[in-house]
Amino acid sequence: MKDDFKLPKETLVNKFVAKSRFYERSKLSSKLQKEFVDKVQRITWKYKLAENTLGIAKTEAVTEIQIFEIELKEQKVPKNVVKIIDKSIPYQILYRFVYEENVTYGISLKNGDNIGNYYFSDWNTNLVFDFTGIDLELVYQKLVKAFLRDEAKDKDDFDDIVSTDQKIRTLETEIVSLESSIQKEKQFNRKVELHKILLKKKTLLTDITGGSE
């Protein structure tokens, strides 16, 4: 299957990576080894974005960015597997997951050994990735921003953008949960109380998104 990154040929690696490499490095439990075997068909190291391949300067935080393609045995991203790969590779990684003709993407907030939020696109969503920038850290930030809500991107600072996006996601989850609780609640007084909380959450979300949900 063709990829859609349109990167210079110097960045292409296209090497198969044996799943056993991750078993050995991470000393996985039999359960996690089984997840690799049952969920993953093939792992391919597709691209290496570095000073000597992309021609963009590294920084202390981002020295290289790898792009991995993972062919799956079912149309579901195995997040435990992704976390193991991330912990095994000392670089930021953009993932392309493929199941038959279906594609989705993933990336984590990664700084050295510290791995924060994970972001995954919906299946067959047309994400546009920008591989330009004055350094690789800016390129990486642009890749992460491709997964974030548009309402969060009006901030100048990358940390503010990530924080705003997380607030939006959290509020949306809380709103869905509250709406479900209100529907199930039998006691009228409790229903009214939950509805007040719901309205506050919706107001907060509107304030953050500027009325765009």
pLDDT in tens, 135-165: 999 999 999 999 998 887 777 788 888 888 8
Sign (positive/negative) of CA torsion 111, 148, 210, 178? negative
Quick one: angle between helices 30-39 and 79-88, nearest 10? Answer: 110
The encoded tokens of residue 86 equal 């991330």
Low-confidence ranges of the chain (pLDDT < 70): 1-3, 25-26, 211-213
Whole-model pTM: value is 0.85
Alpha carbon distance, N-terminus to C-terminus of the chain: 35
Count of helices and strands (H, E) across the chain: 7, 6
CB 66 within 8 A of CB 45: yes
From the centroid of its chain, how far is CA 78?
A: 12
